[in-house]
């Protein structure tokens, strides 16, 4: 059983969670933004990652080429998204219709429009997996 003081201590230092991950926040404090622009569809600034957390000063770029590995995450997200759209297409239009070229083009268009989100989320997830705890 938790002592009430322990509960207060837990509340005073909240751990970053899934919500912070989805919002693209710092994996250590959950406050600072990883990306300069909060809008992923701001195409001029969508690629710019802040060098450090504005709240806890965590280094967001630990080494040159750190985010290259995020391409594997983006690939996995693309495959998962395509699997999801295939299941939805099969439920709506049947299996044989989902094997058509129409499905491929619609899926490609959807992937194009979510690519800024996929780009950002893959980098955020990569940082959350491999940031240096000290």
Question: Would you tell me which residues interact with Zn ion (CB under 5 A)?
Answer: 26, 28-29, 32, 53, 55-56, 58
In the complex, the smallest distance separating the C-beta of residue 30 from Zn ion, rounded to whole angstroms, is 7
Torsion 128-61-33-22 (CA) sign: negative
In terms of CB distance, is 27 or 40 closer to Zn ion? 27
Ramachandran area for residue 94 (φ above 0: left; ψ -120 to 50: alpha; else beta): left
In terms of CB distance, is 1 or 18 closer to Zn ion? 18
122 CB burial (10 A radius; 0-12, 13-18, 19+): buried
In terms of CB distance, is 81 or 128 closer to Zn ion? 128
Whether the Cβ atoms of residue 60 and residue 127 lie closer than 8 Å to each other: yes
In the complex, the smallest distance separating the C-beta of residue 18 from Zn ion, rounded to whole angstroms, is 16
In the complex, the smallest distance separating the C-beta of residue 128 from Zn ion, rounded to whole angstroms, is 12
């Amino acid at each position: 059983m938790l002592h009430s003081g322990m509960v207060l201590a837990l509340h005073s230092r909240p751990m970053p969670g899934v919500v912070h991950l989805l919002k693209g926040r710092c994996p250590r404090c959950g406050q600072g933004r990883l990306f300069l622009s909060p809008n992923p569809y701001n195409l001029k600034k969508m690629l710019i990652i802040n060098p450090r957390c504005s709240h806890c000063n965590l280094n967001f770029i630990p080494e040159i080429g750190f985010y290259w590995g995020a391409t594997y995450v983006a690939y996995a997200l693309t495959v998962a998204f395509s699997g999801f759209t295939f299941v939805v297409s099969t439920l709506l239009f049947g299996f044989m219709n989902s094997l058509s070229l129409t499905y491929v083009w619609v899926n490609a268009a959807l992937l194009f429009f979510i690519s800024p989100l996929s780009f950002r989320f893959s980098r955020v997830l990569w940082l959350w997996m491999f940031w240096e705890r000290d």
